[in-house]
Chains A and B, each alone.
Chain A
């Protein structure tokens, strides 16, 4: 059986207070924390669970996609450490008030955020897309899914 948890949208300055309030209600374990880039907006999302029951709370906060930053919750939830580290590396979100960490998977100092929609997908730009052709042999102008027109112009 799947159980849906309502998403609670909160402001960045209430992030820590709302998370600790959830913990006070029993949801004191970080199941996961990640970010969602919808191209229009950037969100950070955390799923807090109550291990004693099936209850959980999902908190979401919209960030400034140009300079994404939010307070770290690792002081209250040590289990968030790994997730914040990964989210910082993959989405370029700065978690304030925690020790900075080395990159796990990307090259250090690269500065790219692989899971942001604005990051060019190099392999997808360079590899010929098998879906480009149509049955009639005419080349379609359509780009492969996820590839933006501006990435292909400077090739």
Chain B
């Protein structure tokens, strides 16, 4: 492991890369991830019929349940999840440990 490899401190989300495929949700051993999504039809010029795409509505990780195994990151087929070095996200209450897509995507660029 090189020095630049992030520690297992926080999981960052890149919402644009997420296709709501649910692989991470189903593989998570501690059931700490939940994903809300819906299907939209996208019409493309020249296409015979509209394409259906999954649109991510909400992505939540409950850090009160997460055991930092990293299986979600390993299994994500689209590299929408990654480790980041930050660790200062403690909370005084249980709900504060639930991070939504906005919270999780904030870790992505720098991890701080």
Give 1 or 0 for each of A101-145: 1 = CB within 8 Å of chain B CB: 000000000000000000000000001011101111100000011
Q: How far, in angstroms, from A127 to B65 measured CA to CA in the complex?
A: 13
Interface size on B, residues (CB 8 A): 15
Q: Which of A127, A129, A135, A137 has the most CB of B within 10 A?
A: A135
Assess whether B26 is in contact with A137, with CB atoms less than 8 Å apart: no
Q: How far, in angstroms, from A135 to B28 measured CA to CA in the complex?
A: 17
Assess whether A131 is in contact with B37, with CB atoms less than 8 Å apart: no
Q: How far, in angstroms, from A133 to B22 measured CA to CA in the complex?
A: 8
User: Does B47 belong to the interface (CB within 8 Å)?
Assistant: no
Residues 90-106 of A at the B interface (beta carbon under 8 Å): none
Closest chain-B Cβ to A42's Cβ sits at a distance in Å of 23
Q: Which of A129, A131, A137 has the most CB of B within 10 A?
A: A131
Q: How far, in angstroms, from A127 to B38 measured CA to CA in the complex?
A: 23
- For A130, give its contact among B20, B21, B33, B54 (CB under 8 Å): B33
Q: How far, in angstroms, from A139 to B84 measured CA to CA in the complex?
A: 33
Neighbouring B residues of A130 by C-beta, 8 Å? 25, 28, 31, 33-35
Closest chain-A Cβ to B41's Cβ sits at a distance in Å of 12
Q: How far, in angstroms, from A129 to B28 measured CA to CA in the complex?
A: 11
- For B31, give its contact among A129, A134, A135, A137 (CB under 8 Å): A129
Closest to B55 in A: A135
Residues 44-73 of A at the B interface (beta carbon under 8 Å): none
Assess whether B26 is in contact with A135, with CB atoms less than 8 Å apart: no
Assess whether A131 is in contact with B20, with CB atoms less than 8 Å apart: no
Q: How far, in angstroms, from A154 to B5 measured CA to CA in the complex?
A: 48
Using A135-B19, A145-B26 as known contacts, list a sample of 11 further A-B pairs with CB atoms less than 8 Å apart, ordered by residue number in A: A130-B25, A130-B28, A130-B31, A130-B33, A131-B28, A134-B22, A135-B20, A135-B21, A135-B22, A135-B37, A137-B39
Q: Which 4 A-B pairs have the closest CB atoms?
A: A131-B26, A135-B54, A130-B34, A135-B20
Chain B residues with CB under 8 Å of chain A are: 19-22, 25-26, 28, 31, 33-35, 37-39, 54
12 A-B pairs with CB atoms under 8 Å apart are A127-B31, A130-B28, A130-B34, A131-B22, A131-B25, A131-B28, A134-B22, A135-B22, A135-B39, A135-B54, A136-B39, A136-B54
